[in-house]
Amino acid sequence: MLKLCNGLLRPDGGEVRAFGEPLDYQRLAEIRQRMGYAVQGTGLFPHLSAADNISIGAQVCGWSEPQLTTRMAELLRLMHLDETLLQRHPHELSGGQQQRVGLCRAMMPRPEVLLLDEPFAAIDPIPRFDIHQQLQQLLVAEPVTLVLVTHDMREAMLLAQQIVVMDKGKVRVNEATATLRAQQPDLEPEALLQSLMPKVMP
């Protein structure tokens, strides 16, 4: 789904629209500059420091050193990352720190859309909860459209305003999170997902 959103894949049928118009596959490099992308397992470059991983996209876009420094400081503050970590390489960071660095890299160019591919799946529950909170704070400070792929219903209910359940490439459920909660307010997120499954099954 996310690869369709940023043009890495083309649909067999139908149309992908981005920023209010059909996705122009001749201008993908330009369009992708308006999107941030954080993948499962962080996707950090192992030979680069945390600072270079965060800033690499902005460097390619020709940002000046003062712009890089200012933006880096903003993101470190929002994601609760210590400046002393910037010179470390990914293998020297904890899983939670790596994920924060990955989110900083995705948010560095101030994207209008943030694509997240199960970015928290490999993180233990306690640091994952912390990152969820920091991501919410980041989205308050810098509002952006978030498209999150996850198999964790609790995570989806916490972060999303709209829940889409897909099965074999088809949308089976598309409801506002508040509507789902109101329909069955006493159910835990996992149980709520199970209650949706009859809608998903053929």
* 95 shares its domain with 132: yes
Give residue 69's identity as a one-letter amino acid code: T
The count of domains in the chain is 2
Helix or strand (DSSP H, E) at 165: strand 162-167
Tokens standing for 9?
Answer: 């894949």
pTM of the full structure: 0.82
Residues 129-139: what's their mean pLDDT?
84
Rounded distance between C-alpha atoms, residue 150 and residue 193, angstroms: 12
Rounded distance between C-alpha atoms, residue 144 and residue 164, angstroms: 18
Give Cβ neighbours of residue 181 (< 8 Å, ≥ 6 apart).
Answer: 157
CB 200 within 8 A of CB 165: yes
Output the pLDDT for position 90.
Answer: 93
* 80 shares its domain with 179: no
pLDDT tens sequence across 63-89: 999 999 999 999 998 888 899 999 999
Output the pLDDT for position 121.
Answer: 72
Give Cβ neighbours of residue 37 (< 8 Å, ≥ 6 apart).
Answer: 2, 6, 106, 114, 115, 117
* 166 shares its domain with 86: no
Mean of per-residue pLDDT scores for the chain: 87
- Residue 32 φ then ψ, to 5°: -65, -20
pLDDT tens sequence across 11-64: 999 999 999 999 999 999 889 989 988 877 668 899 999 999 999 988 888 899
Which structural domain, as residue segments, surrounds residue 164?
A: 152-202
Rounded distance between C-alpha atoms, residue 8 and residue 16, angstroms: 12
* 55 shares its domain with 137: yes
* 97 shares its domain with 194: no
